């Protein structure tokens, strides 16, 4: 019996290692990388924000991995290089707002679509695309980030990104999105240890019909016991975002959270007040027809004087899973970001929002 159990354990370990190599390549055998395959709130990279409307934000000066790729934040807690709030001369600044697709999750910052745009647009005029995106942010939080942080950088243009899950609430429809903007309902900032999970089990579970687009946190028995031990003997000083829900002060005035179905109106008001063009960018890479909510959001944006672009037409005839960062996670990979960059560049050029000569 002992030999049989031992043989079973050896077979399981070999199958588990094979599953990790299949999913992640040789990175699946690197502890620091495999331990980065989890949700944002389980990374240890986020903290409560002093601005109640934000709820949570990135810690400054992070240096690690997230979903297998290097993940760093600057001294102001942005996943980007250092930018001084004061804009240099001969510089065109773009503020990028959004959640995990814009962050982007599982793609190195050098291959993110906004980094590609910054590199390809810059010539006589220097273009700076400053990344204010935070994974799991609801559009309300992105509006707050624009008002409380991004406007301080004197942007010339705003790219406000939306995903499939974030779109329906903007026109009063329900969404299955994780409660990014409902701070009191957020899970604790509970660090997880994916190296102790079974990716073989997760792979078999997905192959049996589980939808990888459904947000979930996978915690196995061994990992659960380890987390319980860590939390018992090494309690974190801070484990949950502050649920405060009061006004936050920005630019000398008090600003309240807009209702979900008033977010586009809020964006349009910011654009009118500041004179900054605002582009609502629907980041999508699935070859699907626009839903009713998508069409309503597009129509409302245009009626409010907001620019609107939907990238999915660039993926016609393709298979969405070819653009996942890996099989268990349907965030767009670097190939998708190359296409995003091309489509956004073409849109900005054709609408006169940038002046640099773009590559064809």
pLDDT in tens, 266-313: 999 999 999 999 999 999 999 988 888 999 999 999 999 999 999 999
Residue 151 to residues 143, 214, 235, 268: CA-CA distances in angstroms?
11, 33, 37, 14
Tokens found for residue 63 = 């240096």
Instruction: Say if residue 269 is in the same domain as residue 331.
Output: yes
Instruction: Say if residue 252 is in the same domain as residue 303.
Output: yes
With respect to residue 360, please indicate whether it lies within any of the assigned structural domains. no
With respect to residue 302, please indicate whether it lies within any of the assigned structural domains. yes
Instruction: Say if residue 203 is in the same domain as residue 181.
Output: no
Residue 150 sits in a domain whose CATH number is 3.40.50.1110
Instruction: Say if residue 20 is in the same domain as residue 147.
Output: no
With respect to residue 154, please indicate whether it lies within any of the assigned structural domains. yes
Q: At what angle do helices 334-350 and 113-121 cross, to 10 degrees?
A: 50
Tokens found for residue 294 = 């998508």
Instruction: Say if residue 175 is in the same domain as residue 306.
Output: yes
Mean pLDDT in residue range 233-244:
50
What is residue 313's predicted lDDT score, i.e. its pLDDT? 93
Task: Give the single-character DSSP code of 311.
Answer: G
Give burial (CB, 10 Å; 0-12/13-18/19+) of 213.
middle
What is residue 245's predicted lDDT score, i.e. its pLDDT? 37
Q: Average pLDDT, whole number, for the chain?
A: 85
With respect to residue 357, please indicate whether it lies within any of the assigned structural domains. no
Q: At what angle do helices 2-24 and 199-207 cross, to 10 degrees?
A: 70
What is residue 205's predicted lDDT score, i.e. its pLDDT? 83
What is residue 231's predicted lDDT score, i.e. its pLDDT? 63
Place of tokens 């409902």: 182
pLDDT digits (tens, 9 = 90+) for 125-155: 899 999 999 999 999 999 999 999 999 999 9
With respect to residue 290, please indicate whether it lies within any of the assigned structural domains. yes
With respect to residue 109, please indicate whether it lies within any of the assigned structural domains. yes
pLDDT digits (tens, 9 = 90+) for 44-91: 999 999 999 999 999 999 999 999 999 999 999 999 999 999 999 999
Q: How far apart are CA 255 and CA 253, in angstroms?
A: 6
**pLDDT classification of 182: cutoffs 50, 70, 90:** very low
Instruction: Say if residue 270 is in the same domain as residue 155.
Output: yes
With respect to residue 62, please indicate whether it lies within any of the assigned structural domains. yes
Instruction: Say if residue 208 is in the same domain as residue 325.
Output: no
Instruction: Say if residue 324 is in the same domain as residue 246.
Output: yes
Across the beta sheet with 91-97, the strand order is 126-131, 91-97, 157-162, 278-282, 307-310
Instruction: Say if residue 258 is in the same domain as residue 214.
Output: no
Give the residue numbers spanning the domain of 254.
40-188+239-350
Element spanning 270, H or E: helix 263-274
**pLDDT classification of 189: cutoffs 50, 70, 90:** low
- The proportion of the chain whose per-residue pLDDT surpasses 70, expressed as a percent, equals 81
250 CB contacts (<8 Å, ≥6 apart)?
A: 147, 148, 151
Tokens found for residue 2 = 């002992």
| Number of domains into which the chain is organized | 2
pLDDT of 188 strictly over 80? no
Instruction: Say if residue 27 is in the same domain as residue 165.
Output: no
Q: How far apart are CA 360 and CA 346, in angstroms?
A: 8
Instruction: Say if residue 222 is in the same domain as residue 261.
Output: no
With respect to residue 359, please indicate whether it lies within any of the assigned structural domains. no
Q: How far apart are CA 179 and CA 217, in angstroms?
A: 14
- The proportion of the chain whose per-residue pLDDT surpasses 90, expressed as a percent, equals 63
Q: How far apart are CA 57 and CA 241, in angstroms?
A: 9
Q: Say if pTM beats, i.e. exceeds, 0.85.
A: yes
Task: Give the single-character DSSP code of 169.
Answer: G
Instruction: Say if residue 196 is in the same domain as residue 328.
Output: no
């Amino acid at each position: 019996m002992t030999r049989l159990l031992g043989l079973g354990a050896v077979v399981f370990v070999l199958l588990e290692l094979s599953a990790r190599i299949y999913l992640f390549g040789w990175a699946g055998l690197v502890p620091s990388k495999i331990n980065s395959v989890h949700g944002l709130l389980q990374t240890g990279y986020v903290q409560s924000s002093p601005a109640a409307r934000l709820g949570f934000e990135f810690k400054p000066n992070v240096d690690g991995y997230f979903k297998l790729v290097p993940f760093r934040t600057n001294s102001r807690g942005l996943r980007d290089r250092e930018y001084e709030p004061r804009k240099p001369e001969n510089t065109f600044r773009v503020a990028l707002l959004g959640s995990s697709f814009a962050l982007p999750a599982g793609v190195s910052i050098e291959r993110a679509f906004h980094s590609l745009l910054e590199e390809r647009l810059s010539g006589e005029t220097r273009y700076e695309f400053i990344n204010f995106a935070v994974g799991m942010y609801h559009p309300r939080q992105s509006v707050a980030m624009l008002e409380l942080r991004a406007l301080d950088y004197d942007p010339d243009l705003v790219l406000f990104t939306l995903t499939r899950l974030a779109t329906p609430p903007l026109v009063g429809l329900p969404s299955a999105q994780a409660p990014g903007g409902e701070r009191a309902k957020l899970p604790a900032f509970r660090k997880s240890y994916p190296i102790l999970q079974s990716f073989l089990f997760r792979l078999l579970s997905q192959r049996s019909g589980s939808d990888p687009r459904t947000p979930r946190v996978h915690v196995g028995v061994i990992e659960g016991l380890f987390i319980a031990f860590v939390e018992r003997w090494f309690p974190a000083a801070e484990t949950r975002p502050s649920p405060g829900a009061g006004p936050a002060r920005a630019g000398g005035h008090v600003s309240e959270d807009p209702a979900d179905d008033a977010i586009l109106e809020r964006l349009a008001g910011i654009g009118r007040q500041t004179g900054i063009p605002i582009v609502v960018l629907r980041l999508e890479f699935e070859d699907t027809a626009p839903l009713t909510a998508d069409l309503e959001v597009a129509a409302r944006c245009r009626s409010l004087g907001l620019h609107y672009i939907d990238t999915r037409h660039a993926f016609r005839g393709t298979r969405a899973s070819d653009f996942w960062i890996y099989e268990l996670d349907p965030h767009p990979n670097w190939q998708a970001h190359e296409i995003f960059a091309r489509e956004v560049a073409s849109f900005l050029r054709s609408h006169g929002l940038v002046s640099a000569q773009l590559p064809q």
